[in-house]
Amino acid sequence: MIVNWINRLRASRRWIRALDLAAKERFEAALAEVHSIENLALHQPRGTTEFDIHLQLLKAWLLIEVKKPHDAIPIIVRLDQLFGSGAQSPLREYLRGYISLLAQHVVSAVPADAAKPELSSLLKFDVTQINLDRVPKHIKQKFPLPTHPNWQS
């Protein structure tokens, strides 16, 4: 029990450090922090918590920034499957819009990936339908969506 608590504390500290490093454009170091978080035994199924989802969003973006867009594709596809199913809340729609932006970055880095069927729905996603007023500010700060016509940084 105490080990799990300590690992959660470590993960939180490393998350903050990863965000800080990414803000300073030290993408390799930020990605190393993300990998160190993934290596912690957090005693819960991966991908089931808000933290896991945010971690995967950050990881996909960092992989694109360090010129490894092919490594980001499985993460993007897995997240799209997660957000593409079930009832759509404004938050889920916004995060799907962010995933769509990541897919567009992958395709711009490697145009041949535009033909991948698993990316096609994301590449067609219409971010203009997202109501930005209904998305929490902290989400918009962590995962900006500047392609939205009403975006204000």
Reported pTM: 0.89
SS3 readout for the chain = CHHHHHHHHHHHHHHHHHHHHHHCCCHHHHHHHHHHHHCCCCCCCCCCCHHHHHHHHHHHHHHHHCCCHHHHHHHHHHHHHHHHCCCCCHHHHHHHHHHHHHHHHHHHHCHHHHHCHHHHHHHCCCHHHCCHHHCCHHHHHHCCCCCCCCCCC
Distance CA(15)–CA(28), nearest Å, equals 14
Q: For residue range 58-87, list pLDDT tens digits in order.
A: 999 999 999 999 999 999 999 998 887 655
Q: Delimit the domains of the chain by residue range.
A: 1-43, 50-153
Share of the chain above pLDDT 70, in %: 91
Q: For residue range 90-148, list pLDDT tens digits in order.
A: 898 999 999 999 999 999 888 886 678 888 888 888 999 899 999 999 999 999 999 89
